[in-house]
């Protein structure tokens, strides 16, 4: 099957930049994949998203080498309108992208601008609200919503465009823990139940390893590590040198196994507390801890 996103030898330098913001990036995303992107500030994460949704080169110019294709369309030579039918972006601050007073107006805004017929808009609106589980917020004023609710409205407004890919730029950094869970749960469901590809930039490694099919770690404009979550976690010293922290249960379990001289195979690295529990239990009982 063809990739929904294909990035080949991408190097990009902003017009006023002194060095490239992205260097020789190669990456493929299959339809329906969940991809996490992380890395320190200034690593090129937002720039990479901008090269995929077309903000680069259509709004921000610069020196772009290599190609980016989305659903077979070359981003650089396609219109922004055509791209908007395939890929939508959610930003860090939901207030930044809201244009309407009420939730239903916001979610209908995209299709209205495409001239979608009225009955069809109603159908898309209902479905988008349902998929993000905010049907009950339909008539609410956006200004009265919590951060997690607002971000789900932003995702809903993109869903009404029937995209194949949703890009998200650190959508939970300003949310409280419950808001963060709401957003990741909604994304996971959209991904699993409706096959929408998700590419999310986040600093929240616990959520990324739990939800992603592949994780890309950017550092100084290059891909530093790229692979399935367990593979990425196995390179924790490289991650640490880039200022990226693996989840606590990974750090603990790997350190303990190393100290015991029993390195853990990559496929056994725990990604959640639930996965770490039996591993620790085994060590405690094997080593007769406390005389059990």
Partner 1 sequence: MAPMIQAINLHHRYPNGFHALHGINVSIEAGEFVAIIGQNGSGKTTFVKHLNGLLRATEGVVNVNGTSVGKRPVSEMARIVGYCFQNPDHQIFCDTVYKEVAYGPVNLKLSPPEIEARVVEALEAVGLTDYKNSNPHDLSKGQRQRVAVAAVLSMHPSVLCIDEPTTGQDYKDGVDMLNLIDKLNQAGHTVLFITHDMPMVARFAKRLIVFREGNILLDGTTYEVFENVEVLKTTFLSPPQITHLAREYNQFYPRTVLSVKEMLDQTFELLKLKSLTGGIQ
Complex with partner 1: residue 82 or 248, whichever CB lies closer = 248
When binding is defined by CB under 8 A, the residue of 41, 77, 117, 265 that contacts partner 1 is: 41
Q: Does 178 bind partner 1 (CB under 8 A)?
A: yes
When binding is defined by CB under 8 A, the residue of 67, 126, 173, 185 that contacts partner 1 is: 173
Complex with partner 1: residue 5 or 223, whichever CB lies closer = 223
Residues 225-284 that bind partner 1 (CB under 8 A): 243-245, 247-249, 251-252, 255-256, 259-260, 273, 276-277, 280-281, 283-284
Binding piece for partner 1, criterion CB under 8 A, among 26-34, 37-45, 78-86, 187-195: 37-45
Q: At closest approach, how far in Å is the CB of 114 from partner 1?
A: 33
Q: Which of 151, 128, 149, 137 is nearest to 103 (CA)?
A: 137
When binding is defined by CB under 8 A, the residue of 20, 39, 88, 221 that contacts partner 1 is: 39
What CA–CA distance (Å, rounded) separates 125 from 222?
39
Kindly tell me the sign of the dihedral angle through the C-alpha atoms of 151, 154, 159, 163: negative
Residues 136-155 that bind partner 1 (CB under 8 A): 146-147
Complex with partner 1: residue 115 or 177, whichever CB lies closer = 177
Q: At closest approach, how far in Å is the CB of 42 from partner 1?
A: 7
Residues 62-121 that bind partner 1 (CB under 8 A): 92
Complex with partner 1: residue 116 or 276, whichever CB lies closer = 276
Q: Does 15 bind partner 1 (CB under 8 A)?
A: no
Give how far Cα 29 sits from Cα of 81, 124, 137, 165, 262, Å: 22, 26, 33, 10, 35
The token pair at 238 is 């490289």
What CA–CA distance (Å, rounded) separates 133 from 143?
18
When binding is defined by CB under 8 A, the residue of 85, 181, 238, 266 that contacts partner 1 is: 181
Q: Does 289 bind partner 1 (CB under 8 A)?
A: yes
Q: Does 210 bind partner 1 (CB under 8 A)?
A: no
Chain residues binding partner 1 by CB under 8 A are 39-42, 92, 146-147, 170, 173-179, 181, 203, 206, 243-245, 247-249, 251-252, 255-256, 259-260, 273, 276-277, 280-281, 283-284, 287, 289-290
């Amino acid at each position: 099957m063809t990739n929904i996103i294909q990035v080949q030898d991408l190097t990009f330098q902003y017009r006023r930049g002194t060095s490239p913001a992205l260097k020789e990036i190669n990456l493929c995303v299959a339809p329906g994949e969940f991809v996490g992107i992380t890395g320190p500030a200034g690593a090129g994460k937002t720039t990479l998203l901008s090269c995929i949704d077309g903000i680069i080169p259509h709004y921000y110019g610069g020196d772009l080498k290599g190609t980016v294709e989305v659903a077979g369309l070359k981003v650089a030579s396609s219109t922004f309108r055509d791209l908007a039918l395939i890929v939508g972006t959610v930003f860090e601050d939901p207030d930044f992208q809201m244009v309407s007073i009420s939730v239903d107006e916001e979610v209908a805004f995209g299709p209205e601008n495409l001239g979608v017929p009225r009955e069809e808009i109603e159908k898309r609106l209902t479905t988008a609200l349902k998929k993000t589980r905010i049907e009950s917020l339909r008539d609410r004023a956006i200004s009265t919503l919590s951060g997690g609710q607002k971000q789900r409205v932003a995702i809903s407004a993109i869903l009404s465009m029937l995209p194949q890919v949703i890009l998200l730029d650190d959508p939970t950094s300003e949310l409280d823990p419950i808001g963060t869970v709401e957003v990741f749960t909604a994304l996971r469901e959209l991904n699993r139940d409706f096959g929408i590809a998700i590419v999310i930039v986040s600093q929240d490694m616990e959520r990324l390893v739990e939800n992603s099919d592949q994780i890309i770690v950017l550092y100084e404009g290059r891909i530093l590590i790229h692979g399935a979550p367990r593979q990425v976690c196995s390179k924790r010293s490289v991650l640490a040198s880039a200022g990226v922290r693996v989840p606590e249960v990974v750090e603990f379990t790997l350190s303990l196994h190393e100290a015991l001289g029993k390195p853990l195979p990559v496929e056994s690295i725990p990604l959640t507390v639930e996965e770490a529990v039996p591993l620790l239990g085994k060590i405690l009982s094997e080593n007769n801890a406390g005389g059990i």
